[in-house]
Structure formats: structure tokens, C-alpha cells
Amino acid sequence: MDSSIVLRVKDLVKEYGGTKAVAGVSFEVRAGEIVGLLGPNGAGKTTTINMILGVLEQTSGTIEIPDKAQMNFAAVYSNVPGNLTVRQNLKVFGLLYGVRNLKARIETLLTEFSLEQFANTRAGVLSSGEQTRVALAKAIINEPKLLLLDEPTASLDPSAAHIIRDKVKEIAKQKQAAILWTSHNMHEVEAVCDRVLLFSHGKILLEGDPRTLPAQY
């Protein structure tokens, strides 16, 4: 596989009782690239993410990731444990990922995501925007080469969503992470993504630059 390709999905299928939730999807994501999976609820975006993560087993098709240890994930429905403080959460996940110099890495992330004042606050009492910042800090604690984001801004107000979008673009540019971002918001995909895959009924209908694709179709 081309060394710049961090994720390759080929002819991916997921069936439930004869119904294809994902029906032969193929795409690639390269280092430093943000690719959006755009489509309505039920289009197959989250199912695709879950197969890449290994949470679901595909019915057929292949998923190629050069280094699965260098992958991480965040989603609006997958908050960190609410009974732990922000610092405790980062420590637990850092230990799980075997992060070196973990104490220093945690301090860097607290600063980077403006979480210093919440370091000793239980995550469950934070606002949606603050919890999303914690989840994203957790998701990059191991400096992943592949970052999967499933509608990370879905419950956020416009200001908080803007902060998260800018942070993700920064991660892709500075760390050369490959990022797969699912959304049902075309304006968000235009603002964040380099390329968009339009999902419908488990298939990719269109692919291209999100800033020019609407005018073409």
C-alpha cells in the first residue's frame, strides 16, 4: 500500500438479515487529509466507522490500516467516563495506549484544549462543548495517524462547533493525521473536509471537493 495511504476500504459490505446497511463501499484516506462521510441518518456512515474500528465485523470486503495501534476515535455519543475527572480520564486512556511521558502529554493536552481549569472536575458535569474537547483530547493522546470522528459536533452550539472544527484542521495539518469525519451537515463538511463521500442507502453516490461538488450536481 502507498505509504501516504493510512486507510484503505475496498468493497465493504455489512448485511443484517439480507438487508445491506453498507453495500460495497470503497475509498482511501491519506496522511494529512480530512475526508467527510456525508449523508442522512441511516445512510451507513456509523456502520462503516464501526467496521473500521473493529466493533462490527464486515460481511465482506477488506479494511487496510498499516498500524491499528496508531488509530483513535471520538463521537458525540461516546463520552469519556463521567465519574472520573478530566485528568484521570486522560491518564487512564494514556495508560491504555501506552503513551510515553504521559504526565507531560496530559499537561500539553490540557493547555492545548483550554481544559486546565477543569483538570480536577468530573467529566460528567461539564457542558457539551467542554466534554467534546475532553473527548478530542483523549482521541489524540496517542498522536494517532488515523483519527475517526463520528459527528463530533452534532450537539454543540455554533461557537463550540467552530472551535472543534478549527482544532481538527490543525491536527490534520500539523500532525499529518488522516481524518475520517462523518456528518449530515453539508456546510460543516465544506468548512472542514478536503474531500467528501456522499452516502445514501449504504452506497457512495458522489465523491469530490465539498466546495465544488454542490454546483456540479
Give the model confidence (pLDDT) of 156-197 as tens digits. Answer: 889 989 999 999 999 999 999 999 999 989 999 999 999 999
What confidence score (pLDDT) does residue 81 get? 97
Instruction: Identify the pLDDT of residue 2.
Output: 79
Whether the pLDDT of residue 154 is over 70: the answer is yes
pLDDT confidence bin for 68, thresholds 50/70/90: confident
Where residue 77 falls among pLDDT bands split at 50, 70, 90? confident
What mean pLDDT is reported for the chain? 95
Q: How far apart are CA 65 and CA 187, in angstroms?
A: 29
Residue 3 predicted with pLDDT over 70: yes
**Digit-coded pLDDT (tens) for 115-126:** 999 999 999 999
What phi, psi does 93 have (nearest 5°)?
A: -70, -35
Q: What is the pLDDT of residue 85?
A: 98
Which residues face 150 on adjacent strands? Answer: 75, 182
Q: Would you say residue 1 has pLDDT above 70?
A: no
Higher pLDDT, residue 104 or 215: 104
pLDDT-derived band at 76 (thresholds 50, 70, 90) equals: confident
41: phi then psi, degrees, rounded to nearest 5: -60, 135
Q: CB count, 10 Å around CB of 209?
A: 13
In this predicted structure, what is the pLDDT of residue 217?
76
DSSP letters of 23-56?
EEEEEEEETT-EEEEE--TTSSHHHHHHHHHTSS
| Reported pTM | 0.94
Nearest CA to 179 out of 134, 145, 207, 155 is that of 145
Q: Which three cell numbers stand for residue 179?
A: 481524518
